[in-house]
């Protein structure tokens, strides 16, 4: 499963919205993935925080281990802004060159593999001046099943990526243990806006070499937004089935009560046009091979990138 990178972050909407599917049922499921934080924060050492704004770090690991030992090949920050009734998604490039406390300066993706979520949160604080107290970590086991359960996602397939998608479909389709449940394999025959099933959506998310890593990140956000819209229209039975799938592959420090409150807040905001941000910004980054050991990384200018990102998350003030 290590090849199915980043796609699990598309489960954001599912995790946040399952809270409305029935208190007793969902509470018991959420309680199984809840990991209580034992760290007491010193408010004087916190990064930037604003009342009314909740930031949730979403981590998709590139293997079956959700604790540590696998890289965080998908990283997003979901911002729930109750002040302005907004939901925003920031994508952080996995190759962003950062200082990892206790290790060295290297790709952001390595922090989670070293020591899991605690080290990744520390990296965010030291490098981005963002204090992350809520997180959801997911492995890739449930991606295709969830997309199929909600009836697929609507995305814009680029003509340049059509061949790449179809070449990926074989491996994605073969991953299903029960192929009878999804029917015969179907390739895409045209580009443009269309509805994709689970293995097609995963193949879409894995388009490579036709454009840049930043275009791939944009496609992941496109699938995430579509999944959010599809899921929000479904009923209780769908929520329950999705809960069974995703919660078996998830870890979070958000308590069941908090999760259900967040789900209610997200549904109440009902933001159909989710704002998106890619970090680091194209004009303030430099992607290159820094050394044979560290490979291709994204070096970035701190002041303009953080100023723009903080403004996106917290607003003008």
Q: Among the three residues 155, 185, 216, which one is the final residue of a domain in this structure?
A: 216
Same structural domain for residues 30 and 133? yes
* CB-based contacts of 185-191 (< 8 A; 24+ apart in sequence): 188/157, 188/162, 190/157, 190/162, 191/157, 191/158, 191/159, 191/161, 191/162
Which region among 9-18, 159-168, 238-247 has the lowest average model confidence (pLDDT)?
Answer: 9-18
Same structural domain for residues 244 and 305? yes
Whether residue 223 is predicted with pLDDT greater than 80 in this model: the reply is: yes
Number of domains observed in the structure of the chain? 2
Same structural domain for residues 115 and 90? yes
**Radius of gyration over alpha carbons of the chain, in Å?**
19
Same structural domain for residues 22 and 132? yes
Same structural domain for residues 250 and 133? yes
Whether residue 67 is predicted with pLDDT greater than 60 in this model: the reply is: no
Same structural domain for residues 176 and 304? no
Whether residue 201 is predicted with pLDDT greater than 70 in this model: the reply is: yes
Mean pLDDT (whole number) for 78-90? 89
> pTM higher than 0.75 for the full model?
no
* pLDDT 10s digits, 139-150: 665 777 888 888
Same structural domain for residues 281 and 212? no
pLDDT band of residue 64 (cuts 50, 70, 90) is: low
Token output for 102: 């206790």
DSSP line for 232-280: HT--HHHHHHHHHHHHTTEEESS-HHHHHHHHHHHHHH--SS-EEEEES
pLDDT band of residue 120 (cuts 50, 70, 90) is: very high
pLDDT band of residue 275 (cuts 50, 70, 90) is: confident
Measure the CA–CA gap between 153 and 197, rounded to whole angstroms: 7
Q: Cα–Cα distances in Å, from 265 out to 21, 99, 222, 227?
A: 14, 35, 22, 18
Same structural domain for residues 79 and 146? no
Mean pLDDT (whole number) for 297-304? 94
* pLDDT 10s digits, 284-294: 999 888 877 78
pLDDT above 90 coverage of the chain, percent: 26
Same structural domain for residues 245 and 298? yes
pLDDT band of residue 48 (cuts 50, 70, 90) is: low
Same structural domain for residues 29 and 88? yes
Half-sphere exposure in the Cβ direction for 103 (13 Å, CA): 19
């Amino acid at each position: 499963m290590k090849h199915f990178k980043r796609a699990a972050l598309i489960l954001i909407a599912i995790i946040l919205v399952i809270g409305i599917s029935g208190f007793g049922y969902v509470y018991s499921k959420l309680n199984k993935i809840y990991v209580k934080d034992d760290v007491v924060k010193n408010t004087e050492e916190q990064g930037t925080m604003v009342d009314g704004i909740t930031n949730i770090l979403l981590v998709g690991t590139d293997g079956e281990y959700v604790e540590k030992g696998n890289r965080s090949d998908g990283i997003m920050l979901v911002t729930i802004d109750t002040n302005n009734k907004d939901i925003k998604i920031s994508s952080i490039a996995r190759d962003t060159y950062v200082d990892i406390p206790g290790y060295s300066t290297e790709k952001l993706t390595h922090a989670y593999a070293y020591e899991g979520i605690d080290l990744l949160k520390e990296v965010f604080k030291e490098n981005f001046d963002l204090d992350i107290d809520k997180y959801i970590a997911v492995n890739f086991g449930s991606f295709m099943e969830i997309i199929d359960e909600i009836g697929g996602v609507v995305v814009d397939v680029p003509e340049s990526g059509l061949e790449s998608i179809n070449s990926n479909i074989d491996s994605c389709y073969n991953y299903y243990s029960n192929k009878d449940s999804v029917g015969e394999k179907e390739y895409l025959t045209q580009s443009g806006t269309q509805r994709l099933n689970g293995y097609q959506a995963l193949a879409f998310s894995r388009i490579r070499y036709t454009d840049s890593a930043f275009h791939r990140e944009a496609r992941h956000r496109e699938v995430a937004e579509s999944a959010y819209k599809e899921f929000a229209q479904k009923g209780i039975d769908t929520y329950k089935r999705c809960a069974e799938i995703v919660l078996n592959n998830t870890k979070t420090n958000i308590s069941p009560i908090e999760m259900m409150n967040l789900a209610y807040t997200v549904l109440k905001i009902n933001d159909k046009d989710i704002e998106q941000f890619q970090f680091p910004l194209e004009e303030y980054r430099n992607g290159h091979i820094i050394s044979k050991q560290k490979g291709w990384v994204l070096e970035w200018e701190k002041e303009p990138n953080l100023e723009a990102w903080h403004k996106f998350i917290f607003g003008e003030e």
